[in-house]
Every structure is written in structure tokens, then in C-alpha cells.
Structure 1
Amino acid sequence: MATISIEYSNPLATQKDLAWGVESINRTSPECDQVASSLLEEMAAATGLPSFVWIPCRRYWKSETSLPTWLTLSPAMVDRFLYANGSTLVDLGPSIRFLGFPVTLPTGEVAILGSVAREGAANAPAEWILAATDAGWSQAELTQFVDSLLCIPRPTLDRLCALAGRHFSSMRTVDRLDDELQQLTSQIEYTFEEISLLHSLTQRLQLSRSPLELANHCLARLHSLIPASGNAIWMQVDHDRHHFSVEGHLPLDEFQLARLTSRFEEHDWSRPLVKNNLAKTLLGADFPGLQNFILVPIGEAPFRRGWIVSCNLSDDKEYGSVEASLLGSIGTILGTHLRNIELYREHQSLVISFVRSLVQTLDAKDPYTRGHSERVALIARRLGQELRLPADDLEDIYMSSMLHDIGKIGVDDRILRKPDQLTPEEFRAIQQHPMIGYRILKQLKNLQHILPGVRSHHEAFNGKGYPDCLKGEEIPLMARIIAVADSYDAMCSDRPYRKGMPLERLEEIFRRGSGLQWDPNVIDAYFAAREDISEICRAYSPTGTDLLAELPIETMARRFL
């Protein structure tokens, strides 16, 4: 059974609203009939008596049974129900009883909901006689109608009146609780969506994620939480690049947004700026079409990197603390992400400077091999590409190759620069450089992932290499790739004691050493990429572009953090 949210009316508040004799244009609207029918069902179920609804300001009458339309309540009777302020019995003549009470309809109008009964034998009251006569009823019809009313003793009617009152009071409580439940459900749904957005945002805070990707993700989700005409994010991506993303219709372009933010330079930006009702203000005149807005910064001064703005909330609603809190959280998260990227870039610069310094130190000790490490890095990365390794692995290979000979810093300069054949003892000293390099770099947390290539690039596929005599796939793939690149550059490059080897001779050595000295798969990769590798070495210049410094920040971030 349908229920209607009703409230007992305050007689002092509603009395002045009753416009007697003034008929409403909408007196018989379908909505009115629907509400009245629902009330009648509830009243009939509660009392078991013929029931009616009377809306005085509409002059609207509806009955659940065949109660005549002339039975409408007079203003005096309505007053008695109103001032009773609850369920009550109103006597009409010596035997006719009206049971009822006022209710406030969802439209805000006051209605009287009631039932009619008699107590013992009854004659028609004088006002009924007049009303029935005006309606064309005969005396017999009126007598028959009065006799058809249920005869109920007064004590029973009193108890029925009290029960009906409690029933509708309970119904009102249930409706109120249902409304509160619906509001709570809406709040929970909104909170869930808000938490979901913030969670999805924090899940995307890896340094490899572009700030623009995060900004667009926020805008795509914001409309379901803040149904505004338009939402926008303006961000300073780096020193010379910014981005302006808009979702929906924004009554501000990029220049106007800058003007708007400049108007509030003195605002305390630890709190979002909320402005409502701008239609008849100076600010609204300066920015036509702007009805209300929220403006929050991305990041805190002095590291502020942009703005989030939401304009013109739908349905003429006003922005409040809920929307301000959500946008403030998003601004903080985006600001933190941008600041983390800036800090990482500074950290990246330090790491690159450190690696460059190590390589330059090695070049200073052994000038005859200057550029060897970077050529090996370029060749090894090309071999990794041929082996279909992912980008992350390629950059690991590149970095490890750059530092693969760093252990030579710990080898006597006279041995490194000796133009003649090395003695067995001197060769054993040279063989220590992988372990020396490993011990130097293993103290650096950010370079742990490149250590296998540094330590094992002189291992042989047949197990006769050094320092650990690893065999086959026991040797890390990174090291097997660097071993081929290192051998290629060493054999091709000129040394004080010999000229570089012809390419045909080098490739013959590779073929004979495949499966013995070197991994056959890596040797196959070399022959597949031999023209590219030859061009890399031909075009290389020690004074050329610092390729290490040009590694993408997304890749570097994945590698060093």
C-alpha cells in the first residue's frame, strides 16, 4: 500500500493560509487525486469507516466510499480540527461524530483527513439538511444515508480515534526515517564515489604517470560528483610548458582564468575559494556568465603549479563545503605529484652527474679507452632491442654498460696504460675489476638493478670466465649482452699496442665463439643488427650528445625509485 509523508499541522501557522471561497485552478490535478487516494486508503485501513479528504484551500473533496460531496466541512469544523492539533472527535449534532485530524500534504497545503460515524439512533443535523436540500436530495434519501452510517459507541470511537492518531503518527515517523535513510544513502553513495576518485587518483601517482593523464582522469570523474556546467584544470607542467584542460562548458578562457585568480591574490589559499550568487555583483559583471565557482590551487606556495576551477553548479544550487573539500583534496594530490616529479628530476640529475663523473674518472685513468663505455652501452642497448626486451630492461642494460668497467679505477694505472703484453700477474690484477666495480656500486641503492652486468660481463658461456665461473644461462642475460658489446668494441677499437680488428675477422671470431665464449642468441642478435651497430660506432663522438641525460623521465623514474 502506498504511503504519503504527512505532518500534523500547526493551527496558528496554517489558519492564515486557508483561503475560504477561493478556488484553485489546479483543484483536480492528477497529483492531487493520487495523494488523496493514498490517504483515503490509509484512513480506511486504520478505522474501517467511510473516510474522506477535504482540502479547504482547493475546495477539493474526495471520499473513499459513496459519501456525498455536500458533506464538506465548514470553516468552523476545520478550525476545530486544526486547533485540536492531533486526532480528535468533533460532534455534529447529538449523534453524528467526525473522527479526523489535519495533515500537511507534500505540496505544503493543509487537508483534513477524517471518517464519519453515528452513536445510536440519529437524525440529520440541520446543516446536513440544508446542504442535502441544495444538492437535490429528498428527505428519504437523507434519512437512508444517516441510517447507513456505522453505529459505534462513544468509548469505542474514542479508542478508535486514539489508535488512528497513533497509526498516522507512526506512519509519519516511518516516512521521516525513510527520508533520512534516502538522504544517508545518497551521502554514502557520494562519499563512496569521492573515495573511489581519490583512491584511483592515488593509485596513479607513480612518477611514470604524466600529470596531464592524472588531470584528465580527474576531470572525467568530477562531473558525476560535482554536476557543474564546467570544470577545468590549469597546470604548469614544467618551466616552459603549461596545460589547460576543460570538461563541459566553462564561462572562462585561459586568459580570463588568469584574471580571476589575480583578483584574489590576498586570499588564504590554504582554504578553497568559494563564491556564490554572482549575478548582481561587480565580480559577476566583470565575468559574464559566471554565476558561482570554486577555485583551489594545485600545490602550496612557493610550489604552486596550477588551479582547479568548477563553475556554475546545476539547478541553481550553491557550492558548499562538500565540493570545496573534494576539489581541495584533488588539488593537494596533484600538487604533491608535480612536486615529487620536480624532486625526482633533481635526484635524477644527481645520479646522472655521479655516473658521468665515474665514467670521466675512468677515462682520465685510461685515456686510450675513452668513449669505450658509452659505445658499449649503445651497442648493448641495440642488441637488447633485437632481442625484443622491454624499454625498462634496455635502459638497465644501457646504464650497466656505462659502468661495466668502473672497477678499473681500482687497478694500477701502470697496468692499464701498459702498451706491451700483460704478465700473468698483471692480467690477474685486471681480472679484479668486475668485483671492484661491483663493490663500489653495491653501496648505492639506486644502482642495485645494474650490478649483474657490472659483475658478470666477463663470464664465458662455457663456464671458463671470471669472476664466478658461471656457465650458460647461469650468467645474467644483461651480462651476456654486455659481453658481446664489450668484445665488439674492444676488438674494433685501436689500442697503442695494436690496430683495430677488421670487421670480417671479428665476425669470424664471433661465429667460432658462439656457444663457447658468448651466448648464441646474443650472437644471432648481433648479426641481425650488424649494420645498425656498425653505424653506431661510426657516428659516435665522445663530445656529442649526452645520451644518458636524455633518457625519458618516465623510464628513469621506474629504474631509480
Structure 2
Amino acid sequence: MATISIEYSNPLATQKDLAWGVESINRTSPESDQVASSLLEEMAAATGLPSFVWIPCRRYWKSETSLPTWLTLSPALVDRFLYANGSTLVDLGPSIRFLGFPVTLPTGEVAILGSVAREGAASAPAEWILAATDAGWSQAELTQFVDSLLCIPRPTLERLCALAGRHFSSMRTVDRLDDELQQLTSQIEYTFEEISLLHSLTQRLQLSRSPLELANHCLARLHSLIPAAGNAIWMQVDHDRHHFSVEGHLPLDEFQLARLTSRFEEHDWSRPLVKNNLAKTLLGADFPGLQNFILVPIGEAPFRRGWIVSCNLSDDKEYGSVEASLLGSIGTILGTHLRNIELYREHQSLVISFVRSLVQTLDAKDPYTRGHSERVALIARRLGQELRLPADDLEDIYMSSMLHDIGKIGVDDRILRKPDQLTPEEFRAIQQHPMIGYRILKQLKNLQHILPGVRSHHEAFNGKGYPDCLKGEEIPLMARIIAVADSYDAMCSDRPYRKGMPLERLEEIFRRGSGLQWDPNVIDAYFAAREDISEICRAYSPTGADLLAELPIETMARRFL
């Protein structure tokens, strides 16, 4: 709905200028004409009298068909309406009465909205006689027109004038409230979209989410909130890799963005940088095509990891606090996510270093079995793949296999290095290593996922294993998988007291022990993957690459941090 303003106080001189301004005589305004027509109908309905709209600045007159085309308002009458205090009754001659008030149209033009009636015996004023004569009317036609006007006593006209004024005042209030409602609705819609974007970001802050995924998600939704020609995110992904994403048309390339940010090194980056009206400035000359922009950092110093820039707001609008606040929030969220990933990587490095130290400590105690834990980890992971386990479970199995014998740290070195067959007493000491390993690792919250494999990898499927004599599926699946991998590497490897077993003999033992010593499903998985497992053991070298480094960072962070 177009907003009109109804004047009820003495207008300023500028309003008279708007009413009579010569520079506006030839101006046309379809929107104002449409509003004027609507007001005319409303005035006629409110007063029940012949009504008119007069826009003096462009000599625009519109009236009901009952009024002649030569009937207009003289400058003196217009001035009386303009300077009246609210709706007013203006006399023209002894019997003609105008009632009305000024209104301001959407274009700022001032119009007179009014009705006409007569009081007492019909008598045409002199200016009507002249206008009617110029229009070719006869005296009889003019007299007939004046007689046709409703004859209304002055007290009644005054009350009618006051009622019409209050009616249009109510219209003004309704229009104003309608505009405020539309503005509030737009603001609520914008706020909802803003909250929706920020909420969707916070829902994507898992460490498994790539920062680039978040950046692209932001850019895809930013245009609906900030209708700029172009939005971009430059982000340092890690120490030697960065990413530059652009949505729309950005008048800056990556190098120019770096130049722009360097121009404002002294800026207080706790606040977004907002620049408008750059067309005739030195900055605008240095960056052609840049009309206005907002620049916000991703993260706070000393952990700043990039920039978000929005350039050239549409419809020649200027950036303000609303856009700056939104981009600032996005920058903070992205910066926090990148910093969290860095912290988790540091934490992950500590966990890996700890595991590596434990494995190396065990190798130092029993150098003859060096590499056993690493080979078991590779074999167990391949068995898990054959069983179609998800990636998270495979990494748990891998890490648990690396540490499955860590309890041997608590076993006497003489027993571990004994070249002969173990005595029953020595074997019972060896049997303590699953519980020793469990007690060592259970204090570490980050390794709770892998404890079942450490504790139960020597349980037997028939319930005759140790330390808890678990049976069948009471044994954790992780432990059942590690048991097969551990047995495979132990039987294939050379020991001080025997040579490694031939593969044919090993597989015969697996077949006979399926359902007794080992889970039949895991044994079946072994035979399905036997060639891959043989190749794993053949290609393995304890001096090769660090196997722990193979674990994906996101998985380590998710499972062990």
C-alpha cells in the first residue's frame, strides 16, 4: 500500500513550494495519480458530496463527473487550505462552500483533497462565471449546475468537514501501521534467515566436516541475506594450503584481496571494516569497480586464518551494521572451527606419540617380536574390512591391535626373552598381560574405545580362554578379530624356540579351531582375504613408514579425542 501523509498543522514554506513549484509543472507520476484517484473515491464516499483532487504543482485536476472540467482552485483558495489547521471549510462567494485538507502523495507532491456544496440560495461566484463563460457555458447551464449542488446548513458542513478529517487521519494511521508491519515482517524474515544460516553452521562444526565445506555452505546462502554483486572467503586451510571461494562477481582477485587487507593492517579487527561510497576516493581509484565492501577476519589474532569479503551491494545501497554483524558472526564461527581442528590435531599428535612410545617400549623389551603389533593391526583391519565394518570401527580395531600386547611391559623380561619353552608358571605370568594392559590404558579416557580388544584378545570361542573365560558372542567382536590376526602372525613368525609355521599348516589349524578357538565368521573372513593378508605380511617392514600416520586426522579426532 502506498503511504500518504495528511497535513494537520500549518505547513512550512517548503510545502507551499511543493504545491506551487514551477520546476514540477511537467512532472508526471502514475503512482501519485493512482493514489489521487483512490483518495477521490474515498472522499466522495466519506462526504457524499461532489469531490475533487487538485495537485497545483503540475495543474492536475481530477473530479467526479458531476463537476465541470473548468472547476479548479485558485491560488488564494489553495493557500487557505495549505495554511489551515487541519481540515477546513472555505467560503467562495455568498453560498459556495469547499471543505477539505492538504495531503502529501508518495512522490512528495502536495495535493488538495476536497468536496463542494452550497449553503442557502444558489448564487455563482464571480470567478465561476468567468471560468464557465470561457468554457462556453450559458448562464442557464451555470445556474443549473449551482442549483444541483447539495444545500447543507453550515453547522452540518462543519461537522461533516471534521468527520472527513478524522476519517482520513485514521487512514493515515492505518497506512503507517501497515508500512511498519511490512518493515517488521521483512526484518523478521531476514532475522529468521540469518539465524537459520548461523544455526546450520553450528550444526556442521563436527571435526569430520571440512572447513571448505562450511565456507561453501556460507557462500551459497549469503546472497539471499546480503544481495551483493560478489561474496568471497579466503581461508588458510593448513600450513601450506589455502582456499579462495567466490560467489557472484567479485571485483577483486586473490592478489588484490591481499593488497586490500594490507591497506588496513592498523584497523581494529575486533570490528568489521565497512567502507561505502568509494567511487571518487583514492581507495576506489586503486581498486577499480569496487564501490563499497565489508571485510571481516576469520578468527582473532594471533589465530587469524582468513577473510570474508562482500562487495558492491545491489541497488546502490550502503552496507550497514546488519550486514557487518552477520559477516562478523560467520567469521567468528569459521575461525573457531579452524582453531578447534588445529587443537584436535595437536591433541591427536600427542595421542599418537603416546601410542608410538608404548609400542616402542614393548619392542625394546622383546626385540624378537618387533613389528608383531603393527602386523597384527594391519591384518585385523583387513579382516574388519572383509566383515564390512564401518570406518570408525576399523580404526578402533587398528589402534587396539597396536596396543593389544602392551601389558607385556609388566611381564618379567627373562620370560619374554626366554629361548626355550615356557614353564606352566611362566605361562601363567604371560597370561596376565591382557589385564595388565587393560589396567594401564583404562585410565586414559581417550582410549576407552579400544579396551575390549586389549583385554579379551586371548578369549576362546568355546569359553576356555583368558582372562574372563568369555564364550561365543560374549567376546567383543573387536577381540575376536584381533585373536585371529594375533594367532596368524604368531604362528607365521619365527620365535627363539621354533621356526615360523608353513601357511598350509596354519590354515589347517584355523579350520580345525573354527568355532572352538576362533569365531567361525572371522575365520571365514580370513580365508576370503588370505591373499591380501599374505601380501601385507610379505611387504611389511619395521623400518618403513610410520603406520600410525596412516590414520585419518578426522577419524583420530572423532574417535580418540
TM over 0.5: yes
SS at match of 1:302: coil
Query: CA offsets per residue over residues 128-179 of structure 1, 9 Å max, x none?
Result: 1111111111112111111111121111111111111111111111111111
Partner of 1:488: 488
The 8 Å contact of residues 4 and 39 in structure 1, kept in 2 or not, is answered as no
SS at match of 1:19: helix
The 8 Å contact of residues 8 and 103 in structure 1, kept in 2 or not, is answered as no
The 8 Å contact of residues 399 and 450 in structure 1, kept in 2 or not, is answered as yes
Deviation for aligned residue 1:28: 6.4
Query: CA offsets per residue over residues 20-48 of structure 1, 9 Å max, x none?
Result: 59596766654344212210121122212
Query: CA offsets per residue over residues 255-311 of structure 1, 9 Å max, x none?
Result: 111111111111111111111111111111111111111111111111111111111
Partner of 1:29: 29
Query: CA offsets per residue over residues 186-209 of structure 1, 9 Å max, x none?
Result: 111111111111111111111111
Deviation for aligned residue 1:461: 1.2
The 8 Å contact of residues 51 and 65 in structure 1, kept in 2 or not, is answered as no
Deviation for aligned residue 1:107: 0.9
Partner of 2:14: 14
Partner of 1:39: 39
1-side partners of 2:121 and 2:463: how far apart? 121
The 8 Å contact of residues 9 and 104 in structure 1, kept in 2 or not, is answered as no
Measured at CA, do residues 19 and 372 of structure 1 come closer, stay the same or move farther in structure 2, by a change above 3 Å?
same
1-side partners of 2:71 and 2:10: how far apart? 24
Query: CA offsets per residue over residues 510-529 of structure 1, 9 Å max, x none?
Result: 11111111111111111111
Query: CA offsets per residue over residues 51-90 of structure 1, 9 Å max, x none?
Result: 1101111111111342112111000000000000411100
2-side partners of 1:107 and 1:357: how far apart? 80
The 8 Å contact of residues 9 and 82 in structure 1, kept in 2 or not, is answered as no
Name the stretch that deviates more: 8-17 or 199-208.
Answer: 8-17
The 8 Å contact of residues 19 and 111 in structure 2, kept in 1 or not, is answered as no
The 8 Å contact of residues 296 and 308 in structure 1, kept in 2 or not, is answered as yes
Structure 1 runs, 4 residues or longer, greater than 6 Å off? none
Measured at CA, do residues 212 and 529 of structure 1 come closer, stay the same or move farther in structure 2, by a change above 3 Å?
same
Deviation for aligned residue 1:119: 1.6
The 8 Å contact of residues 3 and 105 in structure 2, kept in 1 or not, is answered as no
Measured at CA, do residues 453 and 13 of structure 1 come closer, stay the same or move farther in structure 2, by a change above 3 Å?
farther
Deviation for aligned residue 1:8: 5.0
Deviation for aligned residue 1:550: 2.6
The 8 Å contact of residues 37 and 64 in structure 1, kept in 2 or not, is answered as no
Deviation for aligned residue 1:93: 1.2
Measured at CA, do residues 63 and 443 of structure 1 come closer, stay the same or move farther in structure 2, by a change above 3 Å?
same
Over the aligned positions, Cα root-mean-square deviation in angstroms equals 1.7
Deviation for aligned residue 1:478: 0.8
Percent identity (aligned):
99
Q: Which structure 1 segments of 5+ residues have no match? A: none
The 8 Å contact of residues 16 and 82 in structure 2, kept in 1 or not, is answered as no
Name the stretch that deviates more: 2-11 or 35-44.
Answer: 2-11
1-side partners of 2:112 and 2:16: how far apart? 16
Measured at CA, do residues 99 and 482 of structure 1 come closer, stay the same or move farther in structure 2, by a change above 3 Å?
same
Name the stretch that deviates more: 447-456 or 114-123.
Answer: 114-123
Deviation for aligned residue 1:248: 0.6
The 8 Å contact of residues 456 and 479 in structure 1, kept in 2 or not, is answered as yes
The 8 Å contact of residues 27 and 60 in structure 1, kept in 2 or not, is answered as no
The 8 Å contact of residues 89 and 161 in structure 1, kept in 2 or not, is answered as yes
Name the stretch that deviates more: 268-277 or 369-378.
Answer: 268-277
SS at match of 1:71: coil
Query: CA offsets per residue over residues 497-554 of structure 1, 9 Å max, x none?
Result: 0000000000111111111111111111111110110000001011111121231111
Query: CA offsets per residue over residues 351-406 of structure 1, 9 Å max, x none?
Result: 00000011111111111111000000000000111111111111011000000111
2-side partners of 1:254 and 1:451: how far apart? 49
SS at match of 2:12: helix
Measured at CA, do residues 339 and 410 of structure 1 come closer, stay the same or move farther in structure 2, by a change above 3 Å?
same
2-side partners of 1:2 and 1:490: how far apart? 88
Q: Matches of residues 120-199 of structure 1 in structure 2 within 5 Å?
A: 120-199=120-199
Matched positions, count: 561
Q: Matches of residues 384-399 of structure 1 in structure 2 within 5 Å?
A: 384-399=384-399
Measured at CA, do residues 21 and 266 of structure 1 come closer, stay the same or move farther in structure 2, by a change above 3 Å?
closer
The 8 Å contact of residues 23 and 59 in structure 1, kept in 2 or not, is answered as no
SS at match of 2:6: coil
Partner of 2:289: 289
Measured at CA, do residues 157 and 346 of structure 1 come closer, stay the same or move farther in structure 2, by a change above 3 Å?
same
TM-score (norm 2): 0.97
Deviation for aligned residue 1:10: 5.3
The 8 Å contact of residues 3 and 176 in structure 2, kept in 1 or not, is answered as no
Deviation for aligned residue 1:322: 1.0
1-side partners of 2:518 and 2:116: how far apart? 107
Query: CA offsets per residue over residues 228-252 of structure 1, 9 Å max, x none?
Result: 1111111111111111111111111
Query: CA offsets per residue over residues 456-479 of structure 1, 9 Å max, x none?
Result: 111111111111111111111111
The 8 Å contact of residues 27 and 59 in structure 1, kept in 2 or not, is answered as no
SS at match of 1:62: strand
Measured at CA, do residues 371 and 324 of structure 1 come closer, stay the same or move farther in structure 2, by a change above 3 Å?
same
1-side partners of 2:64 and 2:17: how far apart? 26
Measured at CA, do residues 83 and 105 of structure 1 come closer, stay the same or move farther in structure 2, by a change above 3 Å?
same
Query: CA offsets per residue over residues 102-145 of structure 1, 9 Å max, x none?
Result: 00000110100001111222211111111111111111211111
SS at match of 1:216: helix
Deviation for aligned residue 1:423: 2.1
Partner of 1:530: 530
Measured at CA, do residues 546 and 450 of structure 1 come closer, stay the same or move farther in structure 2, by a change above 3 Å?
same
The 8 Å contact of residues 24 and 58 in structure 2, kept in 1 or not, is answered as yes
Measured at CA, do residues 265 and 2 of structure 1 come closer, stay the same or move farther in structure 2, by a change above 3 Å?
closer
The 8 Å contact of residues 21 and 59 in structure 1, kept in 2 or not, is answered as no
SS at match of 1:242: strand
Measured at CA, do residues 448 and 13 of structure 1 come closer, stay the same or move farther in structure 2, by a change above 3 Å?
farther
The 8 Å contact of residues 31 and 106 in structure 2, kept in 1 or not, is answered as no
SS at match of 1:265: coil
2-side partners of 1:188 and 1:14: how far apart? 37
Measured at CA, do residues 453 and 249 of structure 1 come closer, stay the same or move farther in structure 2, by a change above 3 Å?
same
Deviation for aligned residue 1:5: 5.7
SS at match of 2:77: helix
1-side partners of 2:293 and 2:357: how far apart? 52
Deviation for aligned residue 1:185: 1.2
